[in-house]
Structure 1
């Protein structure tokens, strides 16, 4: 499997980059800033999609698809929205190529200039709200609950696989409501859906809260978020949900006739998570040996490696293993019997450890004589011998236990890296020496927020919902503060 990974303690960033590539999750492409998601990585993303999509549909949402291109005039209709994305937009200006007259190759045909430039979507609010104007006339058309699975482009200059790429995959929900109350409830509901998915499927604990005004989505009145903590002590925003008020409805003239026949603008939300969740998954659980995947998202939950001498022995082992493979698959457990004769068992053990397969079974001649399997769990690397007649129950137990154990481990790490401070000096010291989330009082001004960011590189990750309302004084200015907020250095 090549040389071992760089240790997390030596260079966390290098460890992450190596792991994503060596575990066959993704690689850089021929297009600067864009990635190729490889089959193993995409299989994890497909499981994430399936889990989230089920939750969206259970809350009444439907999937649709909207154009990749957005007319420039659409983007300029909501002022704060365009300001938020202007520096990241890719723009299509021409629609045709031609051969250069001097034979030097293909050039853009100067006579094929578009009448209006098209923006490659950085997000779809504008094209969707232009469409909703045609779909919504009456209160009977509301609420409109639509989700889209798509790709978007934000022209990032400094990129990292999964965490920040010029093009990435995501889902974006866009909903329209008759009342402010319904829209706020929708935005809060979707934040909770994200939190449930990330904690129960990804086994990543999160903190729920709202963003400060300067950190809000462009065009939003309120941004709800879930924040996770990575093993290097940096925070990662795992999902956001936005209450958009009537900003987009007014910009695109989306009105409905209420029960009294009076025309009103609708109330809006949008919400999304992206392939950034893949980065969170890798960085929360994995170790110096490779990936550690939660069983609920692992493409292969159980791998069986035969240990044999000669094809005759392999045939006997295969015959013994097939009923187990069939039984596990019938129970919805994904299992792989690796009978490749091109690689030795030791190579296979290393490969599946690197790829984070939760449970590994080994079976050789002696195991068959003893009626046992050697069972190894990826999270703790513990091995034990398990009787064949109890193997299915053992696997079912392990898959649940590994899911719980890696969540508990991440929760314990976060608890150790959650620090309350009251002075700015202590704040800077904790950030430098310990990292993690720092809970501190802030006076609520953008000026103080910016000063802290400039001096420490830490940002306010969220104003958490579950914090104590212990009034105090801002650690920087000494001015009154209603409650603590969470700071961290972040991805």
Structure 2
């Protein structure tokens, strides 16, 4: 991923022909990210970081509303802390980046660059928590994470990425379960309401859950090529970590108890999902709720300089009117480039709505609007400018969500036999819903034979008690799980 590539200004790879190449083209051409000199790590450019800032703004507000406070823990984690939780260490071992030298000397104990913060945080929680009065403890940190991935892909899988990780400690287990489910709901709502994406939400299998967790909940996105993208997770840790790190408190009867914990996170990987689901052959398409700008005003030059100046002034008034009404607007008056070039650039960058202002608009009472998602055009009376702009942006947001729902629906199939399962898995990438006996041996064989892994047991199917047969072994099965190939 460290190699730079040259991209011309003409054309993008067609999404339907090669989604992987198309994705790389769009990430670079839309100025979301660039390759760096560090293996597997990317540079997040201002356009990409603006999306991440929106994620931060929305989620941080939600966290604070629920009395979750921000903090920051060190990037360097002493190796002995990771070794304390063996399952946790085994889960991350191949991805660890270890510092053995510093200050020109070999360190007496290696430091691990943070793959996640459970271990260093929980050692400290043991010092902070003594009484039931210290609970619940609820914190979050926005930080970078290092996981030494072998195969990297901008946003989707990188050696270094940004995320938020929430950690809570509770007196009783029911509170921890409730917290883990609340965090899951925040993520689900964020994807639906802001990213205009309809995800699958559910429980991970024992094999696929977070190392050391009691239960892992996941948000899974259905990508148009039929692959799954794990886009956020929430973990009920039970008292597993509190016992390992000796976190304890005295209850109101002076009895020593181990508390129950949760951890949950969402990363810049979410941006990759956004690009893959909504983008088209012309580039990025951003949902209005996360787009900045939401509207771009393009000034169309006139042959006469005096007229061009008048058009600019008129466009400036339109800009100010929209801006005063709380819309995020960009005024493009850079006439050094042709109109076609400028339109092409803004389309690649995915701005939801384009307004074109030239001599015709200056003389008349109507303004030309162009939607990025459908390229449909409409003429709007100036007096209806604000109400029509907001209405169009709302409609784009709704239409993008509906498109995501259709992708999910069209790329999910139900099967009853392993013959069907194998036939479909060989023919195309889709989500397969099927009965599974929940034996990890069956799960492993399905993955070996088809490359399809369990994604989730959907939340609305957790309490199901059906009479079915495992799609692989034929043993009794009560619930249908989702399977897919994953990024």
Q: What TM-score comes out, normalization by structure 2 length?
A: 0.96
- 3-state DSSP class of the match of 2:152? coil
- 1:14 matched to 2:21? The reply is yes
Q: 2:89 aligns with which of 82, 100, 106?
A: 82
Instruction: Supply the distance in 2 between the matched residues of 1:307 and 1:66 (Cα, whole angstroms).
Output: 51
Instruction: Supply the distance in 2 between the matched residues of 1:301 and 1:257 (Cα, whole angstroms).
Output: 53
Q: How big is the shift at 1:405?
A: 0.3
Q: 2:254 aligns with which of 237, 256, 261?
A: 261
- 3-state DSSP class of the match of 1:271? strand
Alignment RMSD, CA only? 1.1
**Where does 1:220-239 land on structure 2 (aligned, <5 Å)?**
220-239=213-232
Q: How big is the shift at 1:208?
A: 1.4
Q: Is the 8 A contact 1:469 1:484 kept in 2?
A: no
Q: Is the 8 A contact 1:414 1:436 kept in 2?
A: no
Instruction: Supply the distance in 2 between the matched residues of 1:331 and 1:216 (Cα, whole angstroms).
Output: 46
Instruction: Supply the distance in 2 between the matched residues of 1:276 and 1:469 (Cα, whole angstroms).
Output: 35
Q: 2:30 aligns with which of 3, 23, 30?
A: 23
- 3-state DSSP class of the match of 1:399? helix
Q: 2:280 aligns with which of 284, 287, 293?
A: 287
Instruction: Supply the distance in 2 between the matched residues of 1:25 and 1:31 (Cα, whole angstroms).
Output: 17
Which residue of structure 1 lines up, in the alignment, with residue 117 of structure 2? 124
- 3-state DSSP class of the match of 1:413? helix
Q: How big is the shift at 1:247?
A: 1.4
Q: How big is the shift at 1:58?
A: 1.6
- 1:482 matched to 2:475? The reply is no
Q: How big is the shift at 1:368?
A: 1.3
Give deviations 1:426-475, integer Å, cap 9, x for gaps. Answer: 11222233432110011111111010101111110001122354320011
Q: What TM-score comes out, normalization by structure 1 length?
A: 0.95
Q: CA 1:2/1:469 → structure 2, altered by over 3 Å: closer, same or farther?
A: farther
Instruction: Supply the distance in 2 between the matched residues of 1:357 and 1:474 (Cα, whole angstroms).
Output: 47
Q: Is the 8 A contact 1:377 1:383 kept in 2?
A: yes
- 3-state DSSP class of the match of 2:207? helix
Q: Is the 8 A contact 1:417 1:434 kept in 2?
A: no
Which residue of structure 2 lines up, in the alignment, with residue 413 of structure 1? 407
- 3-state DSSP class of the match of 1:466? helix
Q: Is the 8 A contact 1:150 1:169 kept in 2?
A: yes
Instruction: Supply the distance in 2 between the matched residues of 1:469 and 1:367 (Cα, whole angstroms).
Output: 64
Which residue of structure 2 lines up, in the alignment, with residue 297 of structure 1? 290
Q: Is the 8 A contact 2:299 2:315 kept in 1?
A: no
Instruction: Supply the distance in 2 between the matched residues of 1:485 and 1:352 (Cα, whole angstroms).
Output: 41
Which residue of structure 2 lines up, in the alignment, with residue 277 of structure 1? 270
Which residue of structure 1 lines up, in the alignment, with residue 386 of structure 2? 392
Gaps in structure 1 of 5+ consecutive residues:
97-108
- 3-state DSSP class of the match of 2:387? helix
**Where does 1:15-414 land on structure 2 (aligned, <5 Å)?**
15-96=22-103, 109=104, 112-309=105-302, 310-414=304-408
Instruction: Supply the distance in 2 between the matched residues of 1:315 and 1:52 (Cα, whole angstroms).
Output: 43
Instruction: Supply the distance in 2 between the matched residues of 1:428 and 1:344 (Cα, whole angstroms).
Output: 52
- 3-state DSSP class of the match of 2:143? strand
Instruction: Supply the distance in 2 between the matched residues of 1:477 and 1:138 (Cα, whole angstroms).
Output: 50
Instruction: Supply the distance in 2 between the matched residues of 1:450 and 1:289 (Cα, whole angstroms).
Output: 40
Instruction: Supply the distance in 2 between the matched residues of 1:113 and 1:418 (Cα, whole angstroms).
Output: 53
Q: Is the 8 A contact 1:217 1:223 kept in 2?
A: yes
Instruction: Supply the distance in 1 between the matched residues of 2:142 and 2:69 (Cα, whole angstroms).
Output: 11
**Where does 1:462-477 land on structure 2 (aligned, <5 Å)?**
462-467=456-461, 469-477=465-473
Runs of 4+ in 1 over 6 A off after TM superposition: none
**Where does 1:443-454 land on structure 2 (aligned, <5 Å)?**
443-454=437-448
Q: How big is the shift at 1:3?
A: 2.2
Question: How many aligned positions are there?
Answer: 477
Instruction: Supply the distance in 2 between the matched residues of 1:316 and 1:259 (Cα, whole angstroms).
Output: 75
Give deviations 1:389-424, integer Å, cap 9, x for gaps. Answer: 112111100111000000001101211121110011
Q: How big is the shift at 1:321?
A: 2.4
Instruction: Supply the distance in 2 between the matched residues of 1:339 and 1:88 (Cα, whole angstroms).
Output: 48
Instruction: Supply the distance in 2 between the matched residues of 1:20 and 1:353 (Cα, whole angstroms).
Output: 13
Instruction: Supply the distance in 1 between the matched residues of 2:362 and 2:249 (Cα, whole angstroms).
Output: 71
Give deviations 1:65-102, integer Å, cap 9, x for gaps. Answer: 00000000011111101111111111111112xxxxxx
Instruction: Supply the distance in 1 between the matched residues of 2:175 and 2:431 (Cα, whole angstroms).
Output: 32
Instruction: Supply the distance in 1 between the matched residues of 2:127 and 2:169 (Cα, whole angstroms).
Output: 13
Instruction: Supply the distance in 2 between the matched residues of 1:365 and 1:341 (Cα, whole angstroms).
Output: 14
Instruction: Supply the distance in 2 between the matched residues of 1:279 and 1:127 (Cα, whole angstroms).
Output: 29
Instruction: Supply the distance in 2 between the matched residues of 1:356 and 1:368 (Cα, whole angstroms).
Output: 26
